[in-house]
Amino acid sequence: MAKMGLRYHSGDWLTEHITVVRKTLRHSVDIHMHSFYEIEFIKSGQGSIVLNGQSYKLQAGSLMLLTPIDFHSVNPDKPLDIINISFHESLVKPVLQNIFVSPNKNILLQLSALESEIFCRHTDMLEAELKNNDEFSENERESLLNTILVSIARYMRITNDVTPCSDLVRLYASISYLLQNFTGDLSLDTVAAQSGYTPNYFSKLFKELTGRTYIDFLNSLRVNYARMLLTSTNDSVLEIAQNSGFDSPSNFARVFKELTTETPLSYRKKRQMS
């Protein structure tokens, strides 16, 4: 698995396909991000996860869906037996992307005993299908993964009142492109072109369908990434501004304070002291 800073990328790890890994976590995992999706289900044990700066307890039945914009660290109090499903974002249907991808929403659910049993049954079937290699295998794997993702979306709707907006499917290509390239030198023209729109029409449609401007969404992705770097590296604020995609330290400081009410330095100092 390749690593760029603290953002892990698929490659040798083959998450352009699907992997199912069963593991026992006995030691803390430092803060990190990755460019692919993960589902992590806790079969047994106790601990905590810090997800996008918020701490949550983990126990049997806890289920997390981690998207390419999430940063997180895990600390087991008792060994955590985990089922991990990793997969490339292209396998997530656009209507589900709309539900799952948000800089302001953490996806952590507590499944009931019955829901946990169903999840494990589907995972067992997916894991078994990964060992097959016939003409039906690829379709069957994607079908089983989609069944799991739809179940998670339904659990989210029940617990968080999440309602999908089918019109957002039209923006899927642009949002997907943003998730993979938000730390780079992006232009509105390039992002809009991913969905086949002119920049003006894309901006109008983006605001209508998401309730946020394109630049607000982009800035939130970049600030979220900068928050991770501030608390997990010794990089200077200048380096973090550049690595997060901001064109100048002053613009970085202004946007960061608008979204967090703190300066980058004060944000770092408070977290280092805690």
User: pTM for the full model?
Assistant: 0.67
Instruction: Write down the pLDDT at residue 274.
Output: 57
State which amino acid sits at residue 107.
I
B/e letters for 174-207, b = 16+ CB within 10 Å, e = fewer, are: bbbbbbeebbeebebeebbbbbebeeeebbebbe
22, 33, 31, 62: which is closest to 45 by C-alpha?
62
- Using one digit for the tens of pLDDT, what is the confidence trace for 30-40? 777 777 899 99
- Using one digit for the tens of pLDDT, what is the confidence trace for 245-262? 999 999 999 999 999 999
Instruction: Write down the pLDDT at residue 5.
Output: 42
Residue 161 has pLDDT above 50, yes or no: no
In the chain, the domains with their CATH numbers are: 2-160 (2.60.120.280), 166-273 (1.10.10.60)
231 compared with 21, residue with greater pLDDT: 21
Please give the mean pLDDT across all residues of the chain. Answer: 85
258 compared with 29, residue with greater pLDDT: 258
Average pLDDT over residues 76-81: 97
Average pLDDT over residues 130-144: 90
State which amino acid sits at residue 134.
D
Instruction: Write down the pLDDT at residue 12.
Output: 39
